[in-house]
A and B are shown apart, each in its own frame.
Chain A
Amino acid sequence: METKTVKQKPLFEGEPIYSMWLRELLRFIAMPSRILATFASPFTWLVLLGVPLSQVFPTGDIQSMFGGLTFFAFIVPGVLSMGLLFGGTNSGVTVLWDKEFGFLKEVMVAPVRRTSLMIGRSLGALTIALIQAVVTIAVALVLGIWLGFRIISIAGFILAVCFMIITFFAFVGFGLTLGAMIEETEGFMTIIRMIEFPMFFLSGALLPLNMIEGIPVLYQLQFINPLTYGVDGIRGFLTGANFLPLWLDITVIVAFALLFLFLGAYKFSRMEVD
């Protein structure tokens, strides 16, 4: 028996993280349907929902209702946040799924930290989500020539992207935690959708938060929904028309991200044992 040098595991496992990231991207590129869906989604929401509804809410007096924005400009941050909510949650959930179904087994038997695998995959999903976000903004800017959407400043755009990244990770953690909590795999996606859609509709993504002030419960629910702060923050950085103070948006999203990433990572590392 030759002597075995015991390698100390590095704190930051760059190569495995990079490899998981690259793999996510290569898988994405290898599936044309996924590429198509990524690019088609912003068109669907902006062109098929945004354009027709802009006719219901014409520019003019009513604009004050949307914080000085046109309806179209108002929903652009909403559509962006939806991509982050769905993309992030799905990414978190599938990390656990892959474990169940064995795709990840081959990397699990390698001497790599579970969290490195998780980080790598999440970064891959983040990259795809950001590509989608950039496409969405580009489409919105073109349509915005007629429908009145523009970005207030380059700095605002950069800050919005940073804020979107934090929001994305918040939902990765949320997905991880959900995935660990829900045991059965059948009908799992339906349950996830049942949680995602109410979150989306009660986030001020499509309508101003104060528009439903007269409806009890629904109105209050908006403020315990973390996505509300995500939508408001993105809207604030991109267009300057935030309803809540930006410091509050940032605080809530960062706290939510930390809480759920910690919970998710804890659940994930516990699941590795059995």
Chain B
Amino acid sequence: MAILTTEHLAPDSGELKAINDLGAPPLLTPGKDRTPMIAISNMSKKFGNVTAVDAISFEVLEGEIFGLVGLNGAGKTTTMLILSSLLNPTSGSASVCGYDVMKEKDSVRRSIGFVFEEEAVDIYLTGRQNLDFAARMYSLSRQEREQMVASVLKTVGLEQHANSKVRNYSGGMLRRLEIARGMLTSPRVLLLDEPTIGLDVQTRRYVWDYIRRTNREMGVTALLATSYLDEADYLCNRIAILHEGRIIATGTPEALKASIGENLIIFKLSKGSPEQFAGLLQDMPWTKSLESRGNGTFALSLKDKSIGIPQIVRMARTHGFGISFIQSSMPSLNDVLLHYTEKGTKGA
């Protein structure tokens, strides 16, 4: 959406701060005690001179699917690794299920399941062996272990292939196995780092639905790091946009989309003077901005959500103008990400 200039997209205050925490997250189970399962406060991580994560703060509530969205190198994986207790933050604090990631590593590890971005299964072993080994790390009884492995194999639909070597698995099967490993111990918090990278459309949808199902049925809280906006849009209750190690916007996908101009109407005038009609629109209190794209075509950004196509058409008709084409355009999360990251880069 190249026509969206920073100027007319800026929220009323003109400050980025104002768009943080847009709207409350939708309550999935009203009345349930929604405690933060993940809490990050002013957390930074430096590798030498490079600041990978720069004083970020956010909370993920119980039962939420929270998206950590950003371009490559934004600091998503670093944040995930800190939450899994594999990395220590340089400053600030982070906790999972109330356990400090630096001081209570064991309790953190017992509470989480992690699906890694890169392959983390052993291709020389079978699917069942891989899960069995992962389960052994938790020192359970043989019966508990076998039951757990059989149950996750069933959930991800890999029972048929459980005894073949992982090197013969397709990309989708591999991913399902990784997710099965992450879900093995029925963790309360699931950390998913780019869970559908390199998958085809069908398998992605399958993985998404599985994540959703575990969230709904088992109440698993999920933190999803992704650079795919459609994924975040489909799955997440709330998202945080991470850019160059900083969180530049937080909110529900809808609120974030609205913040960059949800109400954008594009139309073409077929009768009457474009200049006159433009003048008319600019005097309206609900007009945020109006841009002429030439040849009688305009892009109109509206402040007021209640104004839409019918009002514009009616207004044109009563003033003797004619409209040959009119379309309401909803920005995608991609537009949101590009909008904020461009801004973030400029500001940096």
Contact = CB atoms under 8 A, between A and B. Distances in A.
Interface of A: 1, 4, 6-7, 9-10, 13-16, 18-19, 22-23, 26-27, 30-31, 102-103, 105-112, 272-274
Nearest to B138: A110
Q: Secondary structure at chain B's binding surface: helix, strand, loop or mixed? A: loop
A6 B105 CA distance: 12
A109 B107 contact: no
Contact of A10 (B85, B121, B139): B139
Q: Which of B121, B134, B136 has the most CB of A within 10 A?
A: B136
A102 B86 CA distance: 11
A111 B165 contact: no
B125 A27 contact: yes
Contacts of A273: 87-88
A111 B107 CA distance: 8
A23 to B, nearest CB: 6
A103 B137 contact: no
B173 to A, nearest CB: 17
A1 B84 CA distance: 20
Interface string B237-264: 0000000000000000000000000000
A193 B14 CA distance: 62
Contact of B124 (A6, A26, A105, A108): A26
A98 to B, nearest CB: 11
B116 A102 contact: yes
Given A6-B107, A10-B139, A105 B86 contact: yes
B114 interface: yes
A9 B106 contact: yes
B304 interface: no
B9 to A, nearest CB: 40
Contact of A111 (B86, B97, B109, B125): B109
B35 interface: yes
Contacts of A27: 122, 124-125
Contacts of B119: 102
A106 B97 CA distance: 20
Q: List 4 tightest A-B contacts by C-beta distance, closest first.
A: A110-B137, A19-B136, A30-B124, A111-B109
Contacts of B85: 109
A10 B136 CA distance: 14
A83 to B, nearest CB: 22
14 contacts: A9-B106, A15-B137, A23-B122, A23-B125, A26-B129, A27-B124, A30-B165, A105-B86, A108-B86, A110-B137, A111-B106, A111-B109, A273-B87, A274-B88
Contacts of B165: 30
B107 A274 contact: no
Contact of A7 (B105, B110, B112, B120): B110
Interface residues of B, number: 34
B275 interface: no
Contacts of A274: 87-88
B118 interface: yes
Contacts, number: 81
A109 B87 contact: no
B137 A31 contact: no
Interface of B: 33, 35, 62, 84-88, 97, 105-107, 109-112, 114, 116, 118-122, 124-125, 129, 133-134, 136-139, 165, 181
Given A103-B120, A109-B112, A1 B35 contact: yes
Contact of B133 (A6, A23, A272): A23
Contacts of A102: 116, 118-120
A107 B134 contact: yes
A30 B126 CA distance: 10
A109 B193 CA distance: 14
A272 B85 CA distance: 10
Nearest to A108: B86
A4 B107 contact: yes
A109 B33 CA distance: 28
B84 A109 contact: yes
Contact of B134 (A4, A30, A110): A110
Contacts of A14: 139
A221 to B, nearest CB: 38
B124 A31 contact: yes
Given A7-B110, A19-B133, A273-B88, A106 B139 contact: no
Contacts of A272: 86
A90 B136 CA distance: 25
A13 B106 CA distance: 14
Given A30-B125, A110-B138, A105 B120 contact: yes
B121 A106 contact: yes
B88 A111 contact: no
B136 A103 contact: no
Given A23-B133, A106-B121, 6 more contacts: A4-B111, A13-B139, A18-B136, A26-B125, A106-B116, A111-B109
A82 B85 CA distance: 39
Nearest to A116: B137
A31 B125 CA distance: 11
B187 to A, nearest CB: 10
A15 B141 CA distance: 10
A161 B119 CA distance: 38
B66 to A, nearest CB: 18
A127 B331 CA distance: 61
Nearest to A27: B124
B4 to A, nearest CB: 40
Contact of A112 (B62, B107, B111, B137): B137
A109 B109 contact: yes
A19 B133 CA distance: 6
B18 to A, nearest CB: 34
Nearest to B132: A19
